[in-house]
Amino acid sequence: MENGMSGVDWVSEDGRCHDPQRIDFLSRYLKELGRAIADGIDVRGYFLWSVLDNFEWAEGYKERFGIIHVDFETQTRTLKDSAYWYRDLIQAGGFNL
């Protein structure tokens, strides 16, 4: 299973990239995935699209899909709030949804 969402993300003056909409989307999606598993659906894996912002054929560099912001001019990478959220979710074994 794979999913993700696009957004228009940027690094704020505080040096962080805030993306609460992505956290909300992923949280709701993964809760439903958990319900499907509880109902007996054979889910063998999950892949979050995408780790890094990248070039998308339909949107170019305009929309961002990653949980790590990439400054395409400097190649600087900044973990978005969703990256920290996803890290914490994985460390908790997915039980803090």
**Per residue in 39-76, pLDDT tens?**
999 999 999 989 999 988 888 888 999 999 999 999 99
In a domain, 96, yes or no: no
Domain count, the chain: 1
Please state, in angstroms and rounded to a whole number, the distance separating the CA atoms of residues 47 and 39.
20
Give the pair of three-digit tokens for residue 69. Answer: 């912001």
Give the pair of three-digit tokens for residue 1. Answer: 């299973």
In a domain, 97, yes or no: no
Which amino acid does the sequence have at 37?
A: I
Please state, in angstroms and rounded to a whole number, the distance separating the CA atoms of residues 77 and 79.
7
Please state, in angstroms and rounded to a whole number, the distance separating the CA atoms of residues 29 and 80.
18
Q: pTM above 0.75?
A: yes
* Domain range enclosing 7: 2-91
